Each structure stands twice: as structure tokens, then as C-alpha cells.
Structure 1
């Protein structure tokens, strides 16, 4: 005798789920495929790695998800060339930077928008929509009237609009922060304005399925071998099942209308009507992989265990956004359903049982509980219903996402730009006047800005490349009184307010100070500090001061002057022509957070290439003596004599006497004076001009 079996296909752990309920709908859902002849469901890893392979599957996104997408178009790298000036006698080098334009396909269905964007794990675009690196960005959300992107259209001539699919275009993205290559990107995609139900996803994927049953998902990515495989994954996670509804199916997670059946015992043969499988047929633990919103949508794992024998672990990957508690609840519910599924009940009845299709819920007359129909079998004129107990909804579980190391979403802010000319900071003398540029932002997320400079008051501009790493910049609030440059100032203190709390200063011991650590521009003076005390609110108190470094002892700072910590990695230097001495240089910077370029000016006095003024002027007998200083060898490492640092040794001495002023040049650091001389000033003459003057007032008759 032939047997007809109507069944719902599924797994013991996940609960019955599937697209074929006997002859009710056939295999309609199986015909809706993502990739032909494959039944594999979606996996977590598919969303984490950006690809550019032809034929890569594009997921259908629901809710809010973080996905990598697929690069579908890109230009060649755009190369820019600049010059980096070597320090400590090193030659200048040519530095290349790169930008790129490319497009990334995000979703195979339309979306609402894009939130944050990560590049190599760090934020490229913050929650406020601010970009941390310069780029042009356009989003095409996937509307049916979507136009061709203008950049792609101009480059390709004939290009698709990708209607119905969402994609993002980056134009001229600067790659300096990413080793001059296109970084791996991931996107926070908002496909729907709110969470979606499992039933809603099923209805979108397969029009035969109705209802909005099942748990709510903050986000979901539908991909894999077939729609049926995706729905099976959703069923495992939610415990929902299919039941007939008219000519189609409805997803259910509650019994709905419960039919009462009577176990009539038809068939005339003994049948075992109840069975319980061994406990070791149930997994000892169930693990659920998911995307955790508290971990910036990175993969999380929650686990539920049961007591008793067994060692098998069942792991289910759900490419959905679930918080830790929801994922833990899913794991515990799956384990509870598996334990409940050990029980099987069989009911035999007349032909009226054919009206009860698989997926319906029934109560057995005279018995407690609600059962779900797993199979309907017709054999020898008898209808037999195979039943499984309906598990009650689980209690929400508590769980933790663990330690979260979220990418910093610091504001970029407006560019702060400082351009100064300082004495040479290397041991060797400079061969051209040098401009030092330091820049930062009002926000801690600032990275760099493009530079232009002009030597002709803006009539023409020269590209200066990009700024260096963000510098520590602030404003001087209180200046210590003058102190000798030859001693450590242990009494004075300088108070500075830095641009934001992300900037920090540190201490330096004697050895570090000797190596040049903690050197800062304070107004026009170069100062080193041994101790930096935080006062809160980005304010710092600097003590143990070394004043007037590298011949700047005459500069006098006032409250409101700029403070800049000079470090090799944060200073961008530009060598200027000798003709720039005595002229004003205009410097312009444009960063990601600047609505308009930021400009500053610096007058090039030549301090970077001129020798420092002589020191220790004194009169011995009738001769004026002094000690020269050199713009080379400031550290005086040999302890003997500073190198000359110029082509020849020459001094220009201006003497004021009873008969007026006379100027004398001499090649030695001494000069004979007349008894009537009243004052003298000495300048050392170097390759690029004379130093500032060292002055001495003479006492009449002291030379006698």
C-alpha cells in the first residue's frame, strides 16, 4: 500500500523550517536562488572582507549592518610628488603621495543611507558624517531612477547606473594614511529605518511567505546558496516555522488557532504513540555567532550549555545584528527546543485529519500541552499525525559583549597653522633659509592638510605638499621672567593652554634634554622644559626651563603667543631661496575640516642661516674681546671649540666714540679701542649676512 507523507523539513535544534510543505507549494522557494544549486546558508565572514572579484555575491541588507562590499570600479592611482628635506646633513628626498577614485557595491537592494565608515579598522567617517581623510564621497542608494555616477560616466563613457543596488563612490581619496594603497573599507549601512522581523525578511526574499512573525533583528544580510537556506538559518535563530496560509505560507512563532484532535486509534494495529530520544542526541552546548552592535558590529559569540552527559557542541552562524543578551537568548532557546524535541507523539485519526497540514498547532483531547504537526502520513486509509511539543518562549537572558575597543571617533576640527623661522635645529649649518611649519586641528581627529605658500604676497602659489603629523600646539598664558641661557631656570614657569585634551606633554631628564628633547617655540624664543605638569582642561605648567636655546635669548614672549612643541615627525620644513630673506611668506593650509583655507604669515629674517651673535664681550686693557658662536655644532660634543660654520671668520664692529661712529671689520675676535670710545657692538658676518649685534657700553677711562 502506498504511503503519502506531507512534511516540514528542518533540524532538531533549530525547529522545523523549510519551503516545501508536501504538495501545498511544491518547491517554489527553492527556485529563488542567490547562487544556483547550492544550499549553503549565509556566513559571518562573508561581510567582513572587502573583495573585488568578478561574480562576488552581493547581500540583500535589512535593518542596519556593517559590510565590506565589493569594489566594482577604480581608477589608476593619482601620483603627486613633493620634496622632503633631510635633517642632520642628510640630502633632500623626493616623496610621492597617492590618491585614488573607486566605487564599492554595498547592497543588492535599496538602502536609506550610510553612517560610519571604517578604513583598516579606524574611522574614515564618524557618526556625525565627518570624514577624517580628504575624499569626495557620493552615495547612490539604489533607487529605480538612479543615474550613472558622473565620475564613472566621464571615465568610462558608457557605464551602468546599478539601479536597485546601493553603492558608494570615493573621488580623489588621499591614501597617505593607508600606506599609499586603497584601504579595506567597511560600511555601516542603514537599509531600513528600524529593526525588522524575521518574517519581514522572509516575505521580501520569497513572496510566497507572509506574516511578520519571528524575533526582531537590528540588521540582517541575506546571502548564501538559496533563499531556502537563508530562511532555514533564520528559523534556527528564531524558532519560527512555516504553516500554510491560503495558496502560500506564513511564518509563525506562536500557535495561533489551535485545533483539537482525538487520538481515535484507527488502524487496528498497535502503535507506539509516544517516544523520548536519549539525552546524548541533544547537543551539550549551543553557540551562536552574530554581529554585536556594542562591538561596532564585529563578530560576537554567545553560548548556552546544559547539564548531563554529552560532548557535542552545535554552532550556528547568524549574520544578523543581535546584542549580547539577544544572542544568548537565542542560544538558550535553541538548546531548549532541542531538548523538547526529544519527545515525539503520534496520533491516528480519520480522514478529517487531512484538514490539518504540517505546521499547524494542535491540542490532543484529554491531554495537556500544545503540539506542532511535523508530518501528516496517510497509509492504509488511516491518517497519522507526527507531533512535537511546542516550546514556550524563552526568558530574555543577560550577557556581556566583553571589553570593547571601539575605534576613536574624534572630531577633526579646523586646522591650526603655525609657520616660524627658527635657528637651524640640526648640528650642520643650513645652505638655504628654512621655514618650519607645524599644524594640528581643533579636534583630536585631525590628521593632515595640504599646503601652499607664496613669496610674492599671493600673486603666485607653490604647492608645499602635506603637513607632517599633528603637532602639539597651544597658546602661552603666562611667561616666566627672563633668566640666563647658561643656567637651568628652576624658579620660572610657563603656563600654556593646548588646543585640545588629546594633546599631551611629558617630562625629560637631563640626558634627554641634552639630546634636544622637549624643545618648544614660545613666542620667538626656543625653550626646553624638564617637567610638564597637567592642570586640567588642556592646560600645562612647564618648569625646569632651559631658556634662549640656539641663540634666541633676546626674544621676549608675551601672553597670547603661540606655543609649538618642535619634533622631527611633526615639523614640515620648506627650504626657500636666499632672496626670501627680508620678505614675508604667506602659508595656506586646507584640511578635511576646513570650510575655507587657513592662512598664516612669517617674515623671513634669516635667523635659520645667519650666525648667532657673539657673546662674552669684555674689555681687557685697551682691547675689546668676545667669543664667537656657531650655527653648527650647538651640542659642543667635542668640548673643545665650536666649528666655524661659515666660509671664513669675519666680524663687523661698530664703535661709538667722541667723534662719532666708525665701523671696523676684523678676522679675529678682538679689537683695539681708543680711550674715548663709549660703546661697541659686534656682529659676526656669515655666508648669508651678519648676525644680530652683541653690545657693550664702555666706561670712560676704564681702559687706561
Structure 2
């Protein structure tokens, strides 16, 4: 016996359709694909938008574009951060605490292309431009590829050997998401996931879910779908039910087929069997169901793109007797018009389908396939073949009446109103770039260009872009946390790089009133606290006095740190001030494999949360990190014979602490110096030596005696990557 069944409303593939497949192709396909032992039940429409963290809960396969909550698969304990504010102009000092968390959310058991908007407790967390409304340290999407590596944050917390790559699972990782806006707890999140570009075909969806065992043509397409269930039949059941798909078997294997509404060949008449082997058969049987067995209203629940992919409902009613109402969940993306038409079609099928018919025909009826819409001789209307069975030497056809062609619902279905949170900017972004000397221990081999960004109190971060010579913008990551920055209110006079400057002070107005600067003791200063960049000079301060709402006077200055004494004489009103905190700085080029070139231009743009225009900053790379600092203790001693002995002490960019009492490490691949003897602006001599001294003998002095102008000597260390800054000494006027 061979049976093919067309599924009815509310029937899963694991029911009559699954039984038909088992009868056609045997237990191998039956047990391997459609009828595996029942496991965890998949989530349907409403459950996809409720975030869970239940062990063993099923993760759906996403197609197209969907909005899903996902499943929390990993999380850290809450991280506590203490903040101090106030304390100036008679205000008490306030210590507050904030909390953040790092966690991972599984989104799809199938690879995805991207994540666009994200909502937290129904409020917009991430905008369509990729900007976060709440501070987050980092956000990473693992697309679900079969070769994806472990997440570095999870691996650092759990151990590389204990951290799975979650291959085949698309998941998102949040680092240090600020929780103040959500009651200091991880909020319930929903994600707008783009798993495929554009709409997805139903045939392609079925083929992927069945491992290529089911094919089809002309089945239409969907904007998106979340497929889940205990087996393949369970996953495909909503589509089969919603669109009245038929499963047929032919030489090419199993395929899904869309049921038509146009009448094809005629059945009946002389083709009906009257007897078999001398036994009389009833070749024609017809029956009809009661009207009150058809629901008086039918609702389709679906995902509506016009409602930000939230659940929508379209409802169709009918006149006449009955009290039953029926609903259908379709975990797919439709328009309101499509959902209403679907509900109307299902209602029409249910009403017309009360009439059924059974025909017993000769062998020529085998040419009719399940799903065919036919006419029956002597019977009005169109009929769809639901079953075809070889039974007692006759072909039994089970038919159900379908609505006639040409009927259409009037247009005008509405998706309804939706309350959306406005995706507004949180204020302009201010960006600063700095070419820094090495302020950390260790030797660097390339210039260090860092970016710091900030804004008003509501500023949450920005995306960074490197602007090329032709104006093209390339993404280079995101900013770090909100930096403390501002502008100088008065020019800072030149001071001493060897003494604590107790005479001068830095007067600065910060970018926002909620920013603050605090003093530090000697132990904190030794650890690098209160290091700031004022113009191009690096300075530390030990005292901070608030002079206005956002203004401070910084005292107890340590000037010209890390070899920046050359910049002490070039300060001016309005120049940049930046508090250097390592967690507030990023290296936008180095972090993505780029290396700033000496003498080259770096131009970076920052696009913050809703910035109407990007903030930009640019600089010419001088390579302070690879330029040797100028020598110190430059001396000239007369040798008694009319000449001079020039001596100096080198410094090293490989270490700024004198801890052992011996010379600091060299920091370059060789020790070499360039010495220039000048008379005014004219160069008299240029000498290269590998020792920290040089003899300007009497003969050379006599030879140069006729030159006019101030006689001076400049000494630079020749570095591995650049020529160092000069130390200058005047020999004679």
C-alpha cells in the first residue's frame, strides 16, 4: 500500500504527513529525519521574544530578518565601580557606585549576517546606526560559522581549554554593559537579526531544514522565520499549515508543492469502479460537515516588520452559527495585508472544506497527484485531492472542496500603531588624537597614536573611522570610555623639568560639568596618577582646586615628563587638555593592524550616538614613541690647548625610572650620535660618533674662527627608527 497525505489544519508533519512519508520510503528516512525521539519542544511565536537562560532550552534557526530574545548562555557576576564627585566650593564629596555585567546571548542555531537594533526592557539599547544608548565596553557578534573561534572574554574568564567555540551557533557578547538604566540587573534583550539578505524562499528553507531531502518550487518567500521544534516535521508544520502545502514523491524524491485553486483534469464518470473481482463497490461517496463546526473567527499571529518585528494579529470573522474561534501561530515575518489574506484564505478553506468526497477509480486515476485541484463529473465546484491510495485493486481518492478562484479580500489591512522610542543623539562627540612617547614600561617599535573621545553627560561612545587621502572612511573600531578633557584658560609659562613647579598652575575648563579632577599623593603619582597632556607636554599635578562649575586650577606640577620638556615653551590659550587614563584611550590604527607612518597624516572621524556630524581630529605623526629623547647634562670643557671636549649623558625611551644606579638600558640597536657645530644658522661641522663625547680640537677651532654668529653645538641620538631631539649648548657668543 502506498499513501500520500495532504496535511490538514493544525496537523504537524510528525502526524499524518509523517506517516505518509514513512509509508512511502521506509523506516530509514522516517527515523533518521522526521521521527527522531521527541526531545525538547521548540518555542513558538510568543516564546521567541521572551529571553531565557534555562539549561537545555532550544535555540531556533533564524531565516531572513527576525527579532528574537535569545538565550543567555554565559554571564559574569556584576562588576562594581566606585565614583567620587563634588567636594568643591563647599559641596560635600559624594561617592556613588555603578554596576556592569558581561554576558553572552545565543541568537540562532544557524549562521547570521549581522545584528542591527537591540532593545533592552523594550527601550532602544542600540540604534540602527550601531550606536549604543547605554555605555558598553565592547560588543561582539559571532556569526555562527563552523570555524568560529572562542570568544576572548569568555576564554579569559573560563580558560581556553574549557571554552567552546559554539560553532554553528550565532551569539552576541556584551562586555561591561552598564546596568544603571535597568535596575542594576541584566535587562531582557531582543535583537533585530539579519540572518539572510532579503527575503528567503520557502523551498530553500525546507531544503536546509531537511538536509536537502525536501525540495520544492513556486512556494513563495518570507521576510523571515524562526524555525524550531522537536523534529523537521515540527519545524515545517507552521508553513505547511499556513500555506496548504502538499508533500509528493516522484522520481526526484520528496518535494513540497503549493496547492492550486484552478481546476485541472476531470475525475469520475466512466473512470469510477463499480466492482472488483465480482464484489460490488460504492464508487462515489459524499458527505458534508456542520456549519457550527467551522470557527466563527480565525486569527493569524505573526511577526510584523512595520511593528519593529514584534508580534501582530490579523483576525477574520464570518456570519452564521457557531461559537468556536481558532488561532494560528506562524513564526514568520509578514505584512499586515499578507496576514489578513492568509486568515481569509484559511477561513474560506475551512468553510468550503466541510464538503468531502471519496472516489474509487480505475488505474488511470494514478495520474492524479495529491494536491491536484480537479473537477468531478456531475458535482459542482473545485476539489483538491488529499489522499491517493491503492486499495483492493482500485485507486481510492479522498477529496475536499476548495473555494473557487478569483475571490480576493479587499485591501486595507493595518499593522496597528506601535510606540517606538525615539532614536535621538545623546550629544556631540569631541575627539582628540595624541602622538605619545612611551609612557608604559617596554620598548615599542612604531609610533603610538591614541584617540580619546568625550562629550556631555549623556555621551555613550562613538564609532571610529580612519579617513584616507581621497576621503574614504574605513572603520577602525570604537572609542573607549568617556575621557576627561577640556581647554586651557591661560597660557602656561615655561618651567623646569628637573624641579617640582610650585609657581605656575594649569588653569583648565573641562568639557562637561560632571567631569572632575582630584589630587594625588606621592605614591599615587609614582603609579602614574594624574598624568595629563597639555598641548604636547606631559605633566603630572598633585593638587586640584575647583574654581568654577567645570573649571580647575592644577598645582604641584611635574613638567616635561617622558622627554617632553621641548614642548614647555609653546603653550597658548585654548590648547587641548587631556587626562591620560589607559582605559580611556584606544589606538585606532594599531588595534586593527595598521601602523602610523613617520611624517604621515592621521585623520580620524568619530560618529557618536546620534551625532548630526562626525567629530574629526587630525595630526602629523612625529613618532614620539620611537624618537630617542634628547641627551642631558651637555657640557663643554676646555682642553688647555685651545680646543674643547664636548660630553653628554644619554637617555633611553626603554625606561624612565633610575632604579639600579647604573646607566639606563640603551633602547636602540646601536649607540650612535649626530653632533652639529653651528655658527648662527650656518652649519660648520657635522660629526657622527658612537661615544657620548667628542673633541673639538684646536685646529678645528682655528679653522672655524672666521665664522660669524653665535657658536653652538647640538647633539642628537641616532635611534633605530628616527633621529632624536637635540640638546643644545652655546660655546661662544
Structures share fold, TM-score greater than 0.5: yes
Q: Deviations over 1:446-503 (max 9, x none)?
A: 9x9735379999x9xxxxxxxxxxxxxxxxxxxxxxxxxxxxxxxxxxxxxxxxxxxx
Deviation of 1:439 after TM superposition, in Å, equals 2.7
Distance (whole Å) between structure 1 residues aligned to residue 255 and residue 400 of structure 2: 19
Deviates more, 1:83-92 or 1:73-82: 83-92
Partner of residue 267, structure 2: 261
The structure-2 alpha-carbon separation of the partners of 1:322 and 1:170, relative to structure 1 and needing over 3 Å to count, comes to same
Q: CA contact under 8 A between 1:260 and 1:364: conserved in structure 2?
A: yes
Q: State the secondary structure of the residue aligned to 2:134.
A: coil
Partner of residue 401, structure 1: 415
Partner of residue 182, structure 1: 186
- Unaligned runs of at least 5 residues, structure 1: 418-436, 460-560, 565-569, 599-704
- Structure 2 residue 72 is the aligned partner of structure 1 residue 71: yes
Partner of residue 200, structure 1: 204
Distance (whole Å) between structure 2 residues aligned to residue 580 and residue 250 of structure 1: 79
Deviation of 1:257 after TM superposition, in Å, equals 10
Q: State the secondary structure of the residue aligned to 1:400.
A: coil
The structure-2 alpha-carbon separation of the partners of 1:33 and 1:272, relative to structure 1 and needing over 3 Å to count, comes to closer
Partner of residue 236, structure 2: 231
Match of 1:348 among 352, 355, 360: 360
Partner of residue 128, structure 2: 127
Match of 1:333 among 322, 327, 345: 345
The 5 Å alignment of 1:456-495 reads none
Match of 1:580 among 528, 542, 545: 545
Q: State the secondary structure of the residue aligned to 1:275.
A: strand
- Structure 2 residue 142 is the aligned partner of structure 1 residue 140: yes
Deviation of 1:208 after TM superposition, in Å, equals 2.2
Q: CA contact under 8 A between 2:118 and 2:126: conserved in structure 1?
A: yes
Q: CA contact under 8 A between 1:243 and 1:249: conserved in structure 2?
A: yes
- Structure 2 residue 605 is the aligned partner of structure 1 residue 593: no
The structure-2 alpha-carbon separation of the partners of 1:176 and 1:395, relative to structure 1 and needing over 3 Å to count, comes to same
Distance (whole Å) between structure 2 residues aligned to residue 106 and residue 35 of structure 1: 24
Match of 2:245 among 240, 259, 263: 240
Deviation of 1:6 after TM superposition, in Å, equals 2.3
Select the structure that is richer in helix. Answer: 2
Distance (whole Å) between structure 1 residues aligned to residue 364 and residue 331 of structure 2: 42
Deviation of 1:442 after TM superposition, in Å, equals 8.9
The structure-2 alpha-carbon separation of the partners of 1:80 and 1:388, relative to structure 1 and needing over 3 Å to count, comes to same
- Structure 2 residue 255 is the aligned partner of structure 1 residue 250: yes
Distance (whole Å) between structure 1 residues aligned to residue 153 and residue 510 of structure 2: 43
- Unaligned runs of at least 5 residues, structure 2: 432-453, 464-479, 496-508, 520-541, 555-576, 585-605, 618-733
The 5 Å alignment of 1:35-434 reads 36-37=37-38, 42-85=43-86, 92-135=93-136, 136-155=138-157, 156-158=159-161, 159-206=163-210, 207-246=212-251, 248-255=253-260, 258=264, 260-263=266-269, 264-267=272-275, 268-270=280-282, 273-354=285-366, 356-365=368-377, 369-391=381-403, 392=405, 395=408, 397-415=411-429
Q: Deviations over 1:644-679 (max 9, x none)?
A: xxxxxxxxxxxxxxxxxxxxxxxxxxxxxxxxxxxx
Partner of residue 474, structure 1: none
Distance (whole Å) between structure 2 residues aligned to residue 393 and residue 19 of structure 1: 33
Deviation of 1:66 after TM superposition, in Å, equals 0.5
Distance (whole Å) between structure 1 residues aligned to residue 151 and residue 10 of structure 2: 47
Deviation of 1:84 after TM superposition, in Å, equals 4.3
Distance (whole Å) between structure 1 residues aligned to residue 84 and residue 286 of structure 2: 84
Q: CA contact under 8 A between 1:412 and 1:445: conserved in structure 2?
A: no
Q: So what's the TM-score if we normalise by structure 2? A: 0.56
Q: CA contact under 8 A between 2:266 and 2:375: conserved in structure 1?
A: yes
- Structure 2 residue 8 is the aligned partner of structure 1 residue 11: yes
Distance (whole Å) between structure 1 residues aligned to residue 35 and residue 89 of structure 2: 62
Q: CA contact under 8 A between 2:102 and 2:173: conserved in structure 1?
A: yes
Deviation of 1:364 after TM superposition, in Å, equals 3.4
Deviation of 1:390 after TM superposition, in Å, equals 3.9
Deviation of 1:328 after TM superposition, in Å, equals 1.0
Q: CA contact under 8 A between 2:259 and 2:372: conserved in structure 1?
A: no
Deviation of 1:101 after TM superposition, in Å, equals 2.0
Deviates more, 1:317-326 or 1:89-98: 89-98
Q: Deviations over 1:309-330 (max 9, x none)?
A: 0010011111111121111111
Deviation of 1:41 after TM superposition, in Å, equals 6.4
Deviation of 1:64 after TM superposition, in Å, equals 0.3
Deviation of 1:34 after TM superposition, in Å, equals 10
Deviation of 1:304 after TM superposition, in Å, equals 0.6
Q: CA contact under 8 A between 1:8 and 1:375: conserved in structure 2?
A: yes
Distance (whole Å) between structure 1 residues aligned to residue 220 and residue 309 of structure 2: 19
The structure-2 alpha-carbon separation of the partners of 1:269 and 1:226, relative to structure 1 and needing over 3 Å to count, comes to same
